[in-house]
Structure formats: C-alpha cells, structure tokens
Amino acid sequence: MSGLPVLAGQVVVRRFTPADVADFAAYRSDPEVARYQGWDTPVPDAERLVSEFAAAEEGEPGWFQYAVEAGGELVGDVGVCLADNRMQAEVGFTIARAHQRRGYATEAVRCVLDRVFAAGVRRVSAECDARNTASAHLLERLGFSPEGLRRRHTWLKGEWTDDLLFGLLAEDWTSGASGPAIFACRPNLLVADVVASLGFYADELGFDVGWRWSDRQARFLHDGEPHEPGTALVARDRVQLMLTQVPGPHTTRLHLDVHTAAQVDRLFREWRERGVDIAEPPVVRPWGMYEMRLHDPDGNVLRVSSPPAS
C-alpha cells in the first residue's frame, strides 16, 4: 500500500495539516452539515482537533481522519476508527455543503475503504441518523448492507433519534474484488515461546500487540490477562506478524522494508536505546542496500533495510 496523498478521481485524499484549520472550522460549523452529527456548531476547538488529526498515525488502532481536497481546497474529511484487533473498523464522512453532490464523498470514501481493506481489515461498520438519506445512499452506493435500525438510540440535539446500521465485509468489497486477489501477506512466524517472543517484538521493538489467542482457553485474551501459549498478532507501522508457538528451533529470515536510510538509522537508535541486542548495525551491503540485522529469541533473523542514502 502506497503512502498518502492519494489521487482518487476528482479528489486528493491526504493527511491533515495545521493549514486546514480555517476551512475545517468553516464547514464543520455549518448547522446543515452538522445536522445529523454529534458535534455542536460552531465546532469547538478546531485547532486542537486538526493538530490531533495531523499527529495521528494511519493504520494504528483508534481514529484516523483523512483530509479530502478538491481543486486545491479542503472540502471535507473521512474518518476511520480501527479496532484494537485491527480486523474491524468504523467509517464516518463529511463534505462541505458547497461541494456536495459532485461525487466527492463517493470517491474519497471508496479510496479510504481500498486502503482499509488492503491493510487486512475484514469488516467496516457505519451508522447514520435514519433521516440522513444522503449518508444512507452513499453507504448503499458503496456496497454496504443495511443491518438494522436502532430505534430512539441516540440523544441528538435535544431529541432521541433512530440510527440506521450498515456493514461491509472485505469479501464483498467490489473495488477489492475487481483488483488483485492477494492483497496482503501476514507471515506466521514460528516461535518456541510466544511469551518470550512477545517480550522481544512488543517490549523491545515497539510492536503493538493486536490480539492473543489462547490454545488452552480457545479464545482471544484481553489486555491484562496472562499470556499463554498459542498465537499472537503484533503490528508496527504497516507490518503485521503472527507469532505461533511450535517447538523450535526456528531460523526464518524476515525482510522488513524501510523507505529511507534515515529511518533505518532512527530505528537503530530507538532500539539501541531500548537495550535491543543488534547483531549487525546498519551498513551498505554488497548488493547496495543499507541494512541492519537482529535476531529474535528463537534465532529468526530480521533484516531491516532501505536503499542507501544518496
């Protein structure tokens, strides 16, 4: 998956920047745009919101807000909330009134869904006020299935309102279905001791623990529950690894691709400061790549490399 910005038809989908505050505050403060949304008008604290959007990481659990630009102007936003398990997400969207009914939301949300499903998400949920026909039509046009009506579920602007529920599964995503069949790879790394490996990947290398599956209890474990043998998913940036406990020895080689030599150096410093034993610090290898090597507790080799600095 390539980085942002992305050109999607008439719109550009990109990260927010501090320069977006005025446009963002203007359309989010429009009572028509906010009519079926949970926020007040004028939108309070647009500056803080935009700086939070600008600092957030795409692909990390929690909300990530994409800015939607057309003709060089910020025209709206699309938000994705990725669940801690990284397999489910929720989507929301807003387009400024002056820019509605031009297909911008359809293009921007489709582009965001492409990214979300390409990252391994299995299901995206959405909901809207039952009177919000523009939103419901958009979701149906994109292939979401209606999944029900929650009556008098939300207290919104002084009244109890009904919510329509929608869901879209990765296998039903038409944009994805017409593209390449294999869209991601999640290596299943065999390790002799999942607990020791989680210590290495999560505590030392800074991967997040997506979930853990307990063999004995045959269920997912929540944060705080003791680690047990089984399988765990760890993720950092755009890479996900499954760790599965199988008696060793294991000597897989993993190649972690990094964009620039400066980022390899940054990882090297970060990991060295955390006390990680780096078997071979970064050097330019005979084949031209700038690479450092680490060994996990099993002896699996991580080769972390980028093109050399120019």
Ligand X SMILES: CC(C)(COP(=O)(O)OP(=O)(O)OC[C@H]1O[C@@H](n2cnc3c(N)ncnc32)[C@H](O)[C@@H]1OP(=O)(O)O)[C@@H](O)C(=O)NCCC(=O)NCCS
Strand 290-295 to 11-14 pairing: unpaired
CA gap 226, 236 in Å, rounded: 22
Among 21, 50, 95, 116, binds ligand X (CB under 6 A): 95
- Is 74 one of the binding residues for ligand X (CB under 6 A)? no
* Cross-strand pairs, 212: 221, 232
Q: How far is the CB of 104 from ligand X (least distance, A)?
A: 4
Q: How far is the CB of 42 from ligand X (least distance, A)?
A: 15
Q: How far is the CB of 75 from ligand X (least distance, A)?
A: 8
> Do 297 and 277 touch, CB atoms closer than 8 A?
no
DSSP 243-290: EEE--S----EEEEE-S-HHHHHHHHHHHHHTT---SEEEEE-TTS-E
x/- binding map, residues 108-137, to ligand X, per CB under 6 A? --------------------x---x-xx-x
Among 16, 66, 93, 117, binds ligand X (CB under 6 A): 93
Query: Please, what is the Cα angle at 100 between 127 and 23, to 5 degrees?
Result: 95
* Sign of CA pseudo-dihedral 93, 97, 101, 107: negative
- Is 144 one of the binding residues for ligand X (CB under 6 A)? no
Distances (CA, A) of 224 to 85, 210, 212, 241: 15, 13, 11, 21
Q: How far is the CB of 27 from ligand X (least distance, A)?
A: 8
Radius of gyration of the chain (CA): 22
Q: Which is nearer to ligand X, 137 or 151 (CB)?
A: 137
Among 55, 57, 71, 101, binds ligand X (CB under 6 A): 101
- Is 306 one of the binding residues for ligand X (CB under 6 A)? no
Q: Which of residues 30-59 bind ligand X (CB under 6 A)?
A: 33, 36-37
Q: How far is the CB of 142 from ligand X (least distance, A)?
A: 9
Among 29, 41, 51, 100, binds ligand X (CB under 6 A): 100
- Is 66 one of the binding residues for ligand X (CB under 6 A)? no
CA gap 233, 236 in Å, rounded: 10
Footprint on this chain of ligand X (rule: CB under 6 A)? 33, 36-37, 92-95, 100-106, 128, 132, 134-135, 137-138, 141
